[in-house]
Structure 1
Amino acid sequence: MSMASIDSRLRLLLGNIPDSYWDEKIQSSPGYWGERILSQLVFAQEMSKVRNRMFEDTISSALSYVERQIADEGVVTKATALQAERLMAPLASAAKAYDILCVAHAHIDMNWMWPWDETVAVTIDTMRTMLQLMEEYPFFHFSQSQAAIYRIVEQYAPAMLEQIRARVHEGRWEVTASHWVEADKNMPNGESLSRHLLYTKRYLSRLLGIDPATLSLDFEPDTFGHSIQVPEILLDGGVRHYYHCRGSDGPVAYTWRSPSGRSLLCYREPTWYNDFVQPILGSYVPPLCEQTGLTTHLYVYGVGDHGGGPTRRDLERLAGMNDWPIYPRIRFGTFAEFYARLETVRERLPVVTGEQNSVFTGCYTSQTRIKTANRIGEATLQEAELFSAAASVVADAAYPAAAYEDAWRNVLFNQFHDILPGSGVIETREHALGLFQQTMAAANTNRKLALEAIAATIDTAGLAGRADQSSTAEGAGAGYGARSFRITQVERGGGDPRIVHVFNPSPYEREEVVEWTLWDWKSPIRTLVVRDGDGREVPYQWIDKGFHTYWSHHYLRLLVLARVPACGYQTYTVSVGDEPHAPFLPTDPRVDRERPVVLENERLRVSFHPIDATVRSMVDKRTGTELIDPARPAGLFRLIQEDPGQGMSAWWVGRYMDVASVHRHVKIEMQAQGALRQSLSYRMTFGRSSLQVTVSLDRSSPALRFDTTCDWQEIGSQATSIPQLNFHWPLAYACDAYRYDVPYGTLERRPADMDVPANSWALGVRRDGGGPAIMMTTNNKYGYRGTDRSLSVTLIRSSFDPDPYPELGNHHKTSIAVCVVDAAASNRELAETAYRANRPFTVLSGKAHPGTNGRSGSFLRIEDGAVVLSAVKMPEDDPCGRWIVRVYETEGRRSGVKLHLPQRVSDAYLVDANERRIDDADAPVIEGRRVSFEVPAYSVVSIGLVFASSNA
């Protein structure tokens, strides 16, 4: 009798067995006994397959007996099942050599298809059920992830928290939370993923009284793909084990090797992470154990998504199945127990490298407002921490660690895998954007307080000018700028000159054009003079000629070419010049001339089509290279209609059914044509929507910037399509690969006609390796597409489920920068280019007063090293006079890094993501204000710094 015939016979019988009845009182029912014996037969069959069919005759004999009994009696009786078990008794010892480790959990989605109050209710209800089951079943163990779950219990049911804490210490409640939520792994930047580890381990170890080292599992059953640096990030935070379900169809158990060479032990759920107990689960055990090399199979069970967890029926079934003679032993335990066993066979497991993507590509672009909140929230908090840390050292200002932790928790919560990806309902979005407002209130307030504390130490006494007792300027502009996610541009001066401090968040000196606002300026008929702190005149340009009103005050806007030290500041003054503005002359035309639509600076000459405003030429003036293929216009906004047939429109980008340019009936207006900025704007209408675009090119800049505002009124539906607004830039050179930034690194991917994730930029890699190349960076987008010698980015998608109208309304201030870079530029240089495009200078109004610091200064400068700065902050536990500086290596080789700091350093040491000191032979070297250390290839390194009490 062949095994193939046994397979077919079993399938036939399984299809004819009625639903099981599992109540102990009615185990005499035919359904129970039929499923019991057939489940054992199927298990025995799979066990025999992995042992060269050594049990084939015994299985066939027992199966034949069951078939005869069914033919005679029409059902599987208790007597039939017990006799078949006796026929298979020789297999019992082999069967019991396997064991099923049953690990219970409750998958609770944060605000997926419901509002926040329901998430709270689901959490409390589920935790109560688990505690009650523990009372009834002493053998029951339970595992629960997500720090946010425990925070809900602490806030809304603190008495229950005491019961959970007791079960944790009893060893029956396993805490599997190493992250604030089960987060997306592609769109959060590397710093966010490190903060999940930092804040979760600190919080739970204190809340539950546990060793943070026990939080060594990253439990991500539903995360939509996994970036290449995930092992590096997790290992840096003390996480050694990974559990996931999506993003890969490769090995079940494996080690995942990061580019740095460090490896993470992983288990990919082979069935599903939400499961109620069915006896057929035994059929998985032999083949999966064959893969892992263990005799233990991990069985994860519990009703989920909307909570619930294991049920009483699950526990009764598992307890009953353990008595079946030809079936694995069934035990109740924890993930920690399983991974301890998996560690014993680690060296025999396959090694996986690279990213484990992707699934649900629509999630890189759905619900764009939530994605804007994530990008802006991350950037603002990182910059605020930098300047707060600086203010603490140079101005003795208090460091608002608690406020920053609360703000980061908001950002981290919104990175849940159904929130940031945009696969939620309208209440999901509303709650996420409410948290974003709280984040920005904390981040921008503390950023400004830090800048003001620094400004108060700057010696500006020599810049005092004519006081104006009649001035209404001081206090003007309250709140101005907040809607653009900047610090507010309130005026603190009032006379002539006005004092302005410009702050640079980058660890390198930058010179670029920055916008200033002059409030209630009394001399609009005379020129201005702008000087830096040393009295040197610097160029400026009016943005517009008129006065604007804002809450009973008026203002003028101008551009200034500012040079600002690394992670530092420069002081400027603006005063009335000696020359009047050009006299008024009649504006009637005297001669008509051709008006080419061109923007040009020292680096680029960009020509636009005079009818549709697409880019028809971009010349790199350094090399004379034309970067536009004349047959393929660039800078193209497209309306794409996606095929909705695949369903789940928030999750999947559909096949493109139609691609149409929206550059029709374009209204073009040349705007700024000055020495610092040239710009034009154009407006287009399409469907029921309109798009306003301002294109600008600043002095010496390699970046052509597109700032857009869209009134989006397109609606998707299952019956028609999924409308998408897209920005497209064909490349004029051969391109076989595209490079993208990912958390703590970069990654080259082959061309793919599908959206792929990037943190902020994409580069078309030149096949010939030399000359200028095109890089596209955005301020709030994550879904890029590199294919067919072109780059594109999805701007807005009108998915229709689960939120039917996710994008309707105005979308302000999406910025796309098309940057011309050297094809041989390092990844560090590319990262810095994107950083400059997305992290502009910050402007602060100042006053004349004495101070201890000069009119320009730097708090941190990277003098050497192929690294990118990720964070400058103060330690969570001991912020006084200390910094944490985090960098990551970008070029794939060990790099020596040298930092220049604001004060003499008395101690420097390595720390991990949890800010625990690491004793290492490669400890940092201190030389006064300089600290040097080594960063291995593709690694993330953090150092702790202790400042001396005085400058050296």
Structure 2
Amino acid sequence: MHDESNLTTGRARRVLGERIRPEIYGERVQLTLEAAELPGEPIEPALGPGLEYAPFELGSAWGPAWGTTWFRLRGTVPEGWAGLEYEGVVDLGFDADTPGFQCEALVYRPDVTPLKALNPRNQWVPIEAGPGGSVELYLEAASNPILLERHPFLPTQQGDLATASRAPLYRLVRAELAVRRPEVAALVEDLELLLQLQEQQPAGSLRAVMLESIDNALNVLLLDDIAGTAAAARAELAPVLSAHGGQVRHHIAAIGHSHIDTAWLWPQRETIRKVARTMSSMTTLLELDPDFRFGMSSAQQYAWLKEHRPEVYARVKAAVAAGRFEPLGGMWVESDTVMPSGEAMVRQFLEGQRFFEEEFGKRSRGVWLPDSFGYSPALPQLIRRAGFEWFFTQKISWNQVNTFPHHTFFWEGIDGSRVLTHFPPMDTYNAQLLGDELARAERQFRDARRASGSIAPVGWGDGGGGTTREMLERVKRLGDLDGAPKVRWESPDEFFERTAAEVPDAPVWVGELYLELHRAVTTSQHHTKAGNRRSEHLLVEAEWWATAAWIRAGLEYPHEELQALWRIVLTHQFHDILPGTSIAWVHREAVATYADVAARLEAIIEASLRALVGEGQLELSANPTSFLTDGVAAGAVSEALEDPSASSVREADGVTYLENEQVSFGFDAAGLLVHAVDLRSGRDYAVPGRPGNLFQLHQDFPNQWDAWDVDRFYRETVTDLAEVQGPRAWVEDGEARLELRRGFGSSELTQTFTLRPSETSVRVHQVTDWNEREKFLKLAFPLSVWAKESIAETQFGFASRPTHVNTSWENAKFETSMQRWVMVPDRDGAVALANDSSYGFDVTRDVLDGAGVVTTLRLSVLRAPRYPDPETDQGRHEHRYALQLGGTELTATELAHGLNAPRRAVRGAHPVEPLVTVSGEGVLLDAVKPAADRSGDLIVRVHEATGHHAAAEVRLDVPFSAVHEVSLLEDAPQAVSVGEDRAVRLGLTPLSVRTLRFVLS
């Protein structure tokens, strides 16, 4: 049977490739070609037909990198084609092996209404003219360079318009009208499917029947008359293709999909066009197949479509209304979930769901994030408090070491919230429904004893064109076919409803969904990350002061501008922008955008403060009674307090000490930290013979995915940077300071340490001129701390990770993430490291004779990968961080907040009382803003930050007529307790987030 099966399949594949496929099209007529190459950026489509076109020869080169060429195609449908099926076929020079990463086009009618896209696996165009009629089509063709090849770690200058070559990249090889032979096309699909399915069958009767039917079909197929005998061949295949499946089957809920990265190997301006192309094709397919259903995430992409391609958007909107097109995910973009702040994650949901509700009259019921690089343990609470019912991803299947034990499960977050979660066992979000994919889904499904099936997102991603009509044909054949899972088009909501009923006792996974890959994304492109962090804090600060100015001084609240700025920042949190994994063009634009955002927010803050404090000479400062964890200190403007006794500098035995009444930090002649003493307890956290403040430079050349990955072996090559140039210590304005300069390789850095009076932390301002290549810079602090776990800030709280590597799961976490601080504690104390623009760190532990357990905490500072941006992070960088002794999660949060949102000095006529005050141990104020529906209600958000049960009081210093607790989407009101003193009393469970909505009087 083995030899016979090889004979059958070998014969079938050759006949299929060499004889049947070429016969899908019969008679053909060449179209006349003209072209107009744009000298710069894309133009409005309405201007396309009016360009100056010149004759263009088939086979000619066209399209420099990132260019746009308009083609005009003209012809006449032959009179003799009456009663036949015909269409246009255009090949721009496609490489079918890399759909989504090369040239693409959108086809327009003469009135410039979009018709359909052209992609490597989607080269057909519907023709609306009848026999004898004239055909005129316009192609807006984008010559995007192929940047994702078989070796994606190769550096390239093609990733930025400023450095890309202007040589043409493609040759247009086909432009014709052609008669399509539907029976031949159907025969291709029949044979393809059976060839794939038989490969997955064990030796036995079903496989034998499949092979026999293939042989029989080929026997009746005449190679010199494919079109005339295709129907007879199909008749031989029909019995096996109509055989019903058994009773116990794996059910696959297929949803049409095209995972379009908001930016990656192309800039955002090109994403706008990718969305338009793909959705024009998908709405065309929805019209062709009444069973087909398609889903798209990211409200931003819908908004772009509405603004730039309203004709396509109208088709999408109609399909949504008909229940055929699913707005997925309920987020502004498919964001990273590890680095955005808690408030930013709230706004991802708020802006996404409000857009869907306003535009389509519906909200997404689940969070759809197939491709982010790991998932924060804070996410389940935010998902549930935003009203979502389920969560979907597949990225964890990319793990390098450990296979995740479930496909359908409940995911539990830091506060105990749980959300029903599904990973598709097909292990892809670009499914084609090939035989091996179907078999893998059924074979790998780990929850088959509880649940009946899985999801398959079906379609080519990015610019690949989405679902194809060939995929639609496969679903028709797989509705109930023996030897294959049962496949049908289905909404993810329907799938999760069925699954929830099937697995009410599904297993539970507690904590982060750590991706054992792409660990370096918390460090790459530091300027982008710094811009994000600063923007997040300024946004919440601007909201606070603008709210206070609206209520206290009657200044109009800038709703439109703040929403627009939030949306800009949310867009840049997309999972290939904030992680630093896009081309140079994307990050160049991102840095400029963040600068503009900061300037606009500073102007809002300045105007608000001017309205609040009036004109005058009194020196004021933001001096809160409480502080925001994701914004400026949200309290009063009051007179600045004088500093207590000054810090000092002293020299002893070659060590320079920065000291105050609380702590003492000692640096040796090399600028390394040899003492870190908490004077309150007398404990020295430094390790004898293992100084801290040690910069370590690693060779950093991962196996692939340069900007994404750091592989464990990077630790095996390290250079300690222990030389220092010209240390200088002094006291200024009561603060003890030390400056250290270091040179290494082609780079240099300067650290300025500052110890303020009465603080327990030393602050550092670091300026680095970074000119290394394929290097990773770490800053190490070996600590005399017997830490069994590290504690890192996450959104609205913190998460713990073991410091041991007892199992492969812990061993794989050799690079981990934080929000703004990480702490290593033991039973007698703790050391925290807070920062203003870094997200990566690692913790290791070992044992030294005489010193016991040593925990080494290392901050990830800078990288220098060369793909996809060969100049990643070259140049000047600023970092601010602080080392705190003897603190807690709460003091670490306060320190981190101060680094990221320092107090403001204000000159005005009078102080301003706090608008909102919060009392309760460990309860922090996160946001104060008008309600998003612009009703005039006030939103106040708080959370418990220490991991304890807490009783909180929230007081509003303005009259209100009612108050309710609401969801993160500011709806679903529930009663809260309001005392006679008008204080709102809340009982908070550990690390819980609560949102109040006040109706102002």
Q: TM-score, normalised by structure 2?
A: 0.74
* Residue 206 of structure 2 corresponds to residue 59 of structure 1: yes
C-alpha separation in 2, matches of 1:26 and 1:864: 74
5+ residue gaps, structure 2: 25-180, 224-228, 398-403, 643-650, 804-810, 846-854
Rate the CA distance shift 1:327–1:595 in 2: closer, same or farther, 3 A. Answer: closer
| CA apart distance, 1:870 | 1.9
C-alpha separation in 1, matches of 2:559 and 2:698: 45
Alignment correspondent of 1:669? 728
RMSD between aligned alpha carbons?
3.4
Alignment correspondent of 1:659? 718
Rate the CA distance shift 1:862–1:87 in 2: closer, same or farther, 3 A. Answer: closer
Amino acid paired to 2:906: L
Residues 383 and 505 in structure 1, CA contact (< 8 A), matched pair in contact too: no
C-alpha separation in 2, matches of 1:598 and 1:235: 50
Alignment correspondent of 1:291? 447
C-alpha separation in 1, matches of 2:628 and 2:724: 43
Amino acid paired to 1:667: G
Give 1:862's match in structure 2, choosing from 915, 918, 921: 918
Give the alignment of 1:125-524 within 5 angstroms. 125-208=277-360, 210-212=361-363, 215-247=364-396, 249-270=404-425, 271-284=427-440, 286-287=442-443, 291-292=447-448, 293-322=450-479, 327-358=484-515, 359-456=517-614, 498-504=617-623, 507=626
* Residue 954 of structure 2 corresponds to residue 899 of structure 1: yes
C-alpha separation in 2, matches of 1:16 and 1:867: 72
Rate the CA distance shift 1:505–1:146 in 2: closer, same or farther, 3 A. Answer: farther
Alignment correspondent of 1:936? 989
C-alpha separation in 1, matches of 2:220 and 2:313: 55
| CA apart distance, 1:883 | 2.1
Rate the CA distance shift 1:222–1:68 in 2: closer, same or farther, 3 A. Answer: closer
Alignment correspondent of 1:739? 791
C-alpha separation in 1, matches of 2:456 and 2:696: 48
C-alpha separation in 2, matches of 1:806 and 1:199: 31
Amino acid paired to 2:726: K
| CA apart distance, 1:940 | 1.4
Give the alignment of 1:71-90 within 5 angstroms. none
Residues 504 and 840 in structure 1, CA contact (< 8 A), matched pair in contact too: no
| CA apart distance, 1:567 | 1.2
Rate the CA distance shift 1:33–1:377 in 2: closer, same or farther, 3 A. Answer: closer
Moved more, 757-766 or 434-443: 434-443
Give the alignment of 1:469-618 within 5 angstroms. 498-504=617-623, 507=626, 567-571=635-639, 597-610=656-669, 612-618=670-676
Amino acid paired to 2:544: L
Alignment correspondent of 2:78? none
C-alpha separation in 1, matches of 2:279 and 2:921: 49
Residues 669 and 680 in structure 1, CA contact (< 8 A), matched pair in contact too: yes
C-alpha separation in 1, matches of 2:193 and 2:710: 44
| CA apart distance, 1:890 | 3.2
Report percent identity of matched pairs.
Answer: 25
C-alpha separation in 2, matches of 1:398 and 1:30: 67
Instruction: Name the SS of the counterpart of 2:606 in structure 1.
Output: helix
Amino acid paired to 1:500: E
Amino acid paired to 1:886: R
Give 1:821's match in structure 2, choosing from 886, 897, 901: 886
Residues 865 and 898 in structure 1, CA contact (< 8 A), matched pair in contact too: no
* Residue 824 of structure 2 corresponds to residue 764 of structure 1: yes
C-alpha separation in 2, matches of 1:688 and 1:361: 26
Question: Alpha-carbon deviations, 1:794-830, whole Å to 9, x = none?
Answer: 1110011000011111113x111001124xx3x3343
Question: Alpha-carbon deviations, 1:183-238, whole Å to 9, x = none?
Answer: 11100111111101111111222123x123xx112111111111112111011111
Rate the CA distance shift 1:840–1:9 in 2: closer, same or farther, 3 A. Answer: farther
Alignment correspondent of 1:794? 860
Alignment correspondent of 1:709? 767
| CA apart distance, 1:88 | 10
Q: TM-score, normalised by structure 1?
A: 0.77
C-alpha separation in 2, matches of 1:283 and 1:565: 56
C-alpha separation in 1, matches of 2:6 and 2:917: 69
C-alpha separation in 2, matches of 1:670 and 1:285: 64
Alignment correspondent of 1:113? 265
| CA apart distance, 1:743 | 1.3
Amino acid paired to 1:803: D
Give 1:686's match in structure 2, choosing from 741, 744, 747: 744
Rate the CA distance shift 1:933–1:307 in 2: closer, same or farther, 3 A. Answer: farther
C-alpha separation in 2, matches of 1:878 and 1:750: 45
Residues 694 and 780 in structure 2, CA contact (< 8 A), matched pair in contact too: yes
Rate the CA distance shift 1:916–1:11 in 2: closer, same or farther, 3 A. Answer: farther
Question: Alpha-carbon deviations, 1:10-68, whole Å to 9, x = none?
Answer: 899768852756756565999766544454546665xxxxxxxxxx8643764796799
Rate the CA distance shift 1:166–1:927 in 2: closer, same or farther, 3 A. Answer: same
| CA apart distance, 1:673 | 4.8
Alignment correspondent of 1:919? 974
Amino acid paired to 1:603: Q
Instruction: Name the SS of the counterpart of 2:509 in structure 1.
Output: strand
Moved more, 8-17 or 690-699: 8-17
Residues 189 and 474 in structure 2, CA contact (< 8 A), matched pair in contact too: no
C-alpha separation in 1, matches of 2:677 and 2:8: 73
C-alpha separation in 1, matches of 2:220 and 2:285: 40
Question: Alpha-carbon deviations, 1:62-108, whole Å to 9, x = none?
Answer: 4796799899999999999977986899x735179665432101111
Q: How many residues are paired up?
A: 795
C-alpha separation in 1, matches of 2:469 and 2:191: 22
Question: Alpha-carbon deviations, 1:382-430, whole Å to 9, x = none?
Answer: 1221222222222232222222111111111011000000000111102
| CA apart distance, 1:621 | 1.0
Question: Alpha-carbon deviations, 1:505-529, whole Å to 9, x = none?
Answer: 561599xxxxxxxxxxxxxxxxxxx
| CA apart distance, 1:177 | 3.7
C-alpha separation in 2, matches of 1:151 and 1:25: 37
Alignment correspondent of 2:839? 782
Residues 688 and 713 in structure 1, CA contact (< 8 A), matched pair in contact too: yes
Instruction: Name the SS of the counterpart of 2:788 in structure 1.
Output: strand
Moved more, 652-661 or 773-782: 652-661
| CA apart distance, 1:728 | 1.1
Amino acid paired to 2:508: V
* Residue 246 of structure 2 corresponds to residue 94 of structure 1: yes
Alignment correspondent of 1:551? none
Instruction: Name the SS of the counterpart of 1:94 in structure 2.
Output: coil
Amino acid paired to 2:638: Q
Instruction: Name the SS of the counterpart of 1:815 in structure 2.
Output: strand
C-alpha separation in 1, matches of 2:652 and 2:519: 50
Residues 296 and 328 in structure 2, CA contact (< 8 A), matched pair in contact too: yes
Alignment correspondent of 2:896? 834
Amino acid paired to 2:359: L
Question: Alpha-carbon deviations, 1:680-707, whole Å to 9, x = none?
Answer: 1121111111101101100001111111
| CA apart distance, 1:350 | 2.1
Rate the CA distance shift 1:117–1:84 in 2: closer, same or farther, 3 A. Answer: closer
C-alpha separation in 1, matches of 2:418 and 2:974: 21
C-alpha separation in 1, matches of 2:431 and 2:791: 39
